[in-house]
């Protein structure tokens, strides 16, 4: 080692790496901005050409399973995390403890959670109709 160079410490090495990374990121962002400004950037894909029936028919069983799982959780008893009954119990506990702010917060959450049940049941019914349609239309291939 010469007398003019200092040994590198791990902190100095990290700092240098960070500076180089920031410079590289800035260069990439600058290039991307320049490309977009002159019109050579990515173009919007435009309006959809179909209704996505094939993709929806493919995902319908997974969506149905997910809705079932969520409804089971919401309709569970007070020992089930995420259930309406559990949140009702928490509201009662907050009220009996005199924690009005907590009670208000949990009551508002309970209102929203209760509204999820009919919404999801409606989606489940609609999805059943979609699955019937998919079965009669070759999973959306003949649309």
**Which one-letter DSSP state was computed for residue 65?**
H
Q: Which residue has the higher pLDDT, 103 or 20?
A: 103
Q: Which residue has the higher pLDDT, 82 or 37?
A: 82
Q: Which residue has the higher pLDDT, 109 or 11?
A: 109
- Lookup result for tokens 């109709």: 129
What's the CA gap between 39 and 47, in Å, rounded? 20
Judged against a pLDDT cut of 80, whether residue 48 lies above it is answered with no
What's the CA gap between 65 and 131, in Å, rounded? 13
pLDDT, position 132: 95
Judged against a pLDDT cut of 90, whether residue 10 lies above it is answered with no
| pLDDT band, residue 34 (cuts 50/70/90) | low
pLDDT, position 51: 87
What's the CA gap between 68 and 82, in Å, rounded? 14
Judged against a pLDDT cut of 80, whether residue 55 lies above it is answered with yes
Average confidence (pLDDT) over 96-108: 97
| pLDDT band, residue 25 (cuts 50/70/90) | low
What's the CA gap between 36 and 26, in Å, rounded? 15
Report the percent of the chain where pLDDT is more than 70: 71
pLDDT, position 101: 97
Mean pLDDT, the chain, as a whole number? Answer: 84
């Amino acid at each position: 080692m010469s007398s003019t160079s200092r040994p590198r410490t791990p902190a100095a090495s990290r700092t240098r790496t960070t500076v180089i990374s920031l410079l590289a990121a800035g260069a990439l962002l600058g290039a991307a901005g320049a490309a977009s400004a002159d019109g050579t950037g990515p173009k919007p894909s435009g309006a959809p050409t179909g209704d996505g029936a094939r993709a929806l028919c493919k995902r319908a069983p997974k969506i149905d399973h997910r809705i079932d799982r969520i409804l089971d959780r919401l309709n569970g008893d007070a020992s089930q995390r995420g259930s309406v009954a559990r949140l009702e119990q928490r509201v009662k506990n907050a009220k009996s403890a005199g924690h009005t702010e907590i009670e208000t917060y949990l009551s508002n959450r309970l209102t929203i959670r209760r509204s999820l049940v009919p919404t999801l049941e409606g989606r489940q019914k609609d999805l059943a109709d979609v699955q019937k349609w998919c079965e009669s239309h070759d999973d959306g291939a003949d649309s």
